[in-house]
Amino acid sequence: MNIGSKRFATTASLPLELLTRRKYIRSGHYYLIQKFIESIRDDKVPPVTGEEGRKVMALQEKIFNRIKV
């Protein structure tokens, strides 16, 4: 197997490997989404408000616009 084939095989297998490892499945995003679902289901305050989400997205947009070449 040449280097290109090895790289392709490694790249192609990575998502499957990540999905099958519990430590990746239980990431911060997983818990945040679970808490958001619970907040809707149980009529509680969400872990992140809409205003906080808008601020983060505005900041991300500024960063991406600055690094565009």
**Taking the chain (69 residues) in consecutive chunks of 10 residues, what is each chunk's mean pLDDT?**
58 62 66 90 92 93 86
Q: pTM for the full model?
A: 0.47
Q: Which of 51, 49, 19, 54 is nearest to 35 (CA)?
A: 49
Cα 35 to the chain's mean position, in Å? 15
CB 21 within 8 A of CB 36: no
- Placement of tokens 């809409």 in the chain: 50
Task: Indicate the length of the chain as a whole number.
Answer: 69
Q: Which of 32, 67, 24 is nearest to 52 (CA)?
A: 32
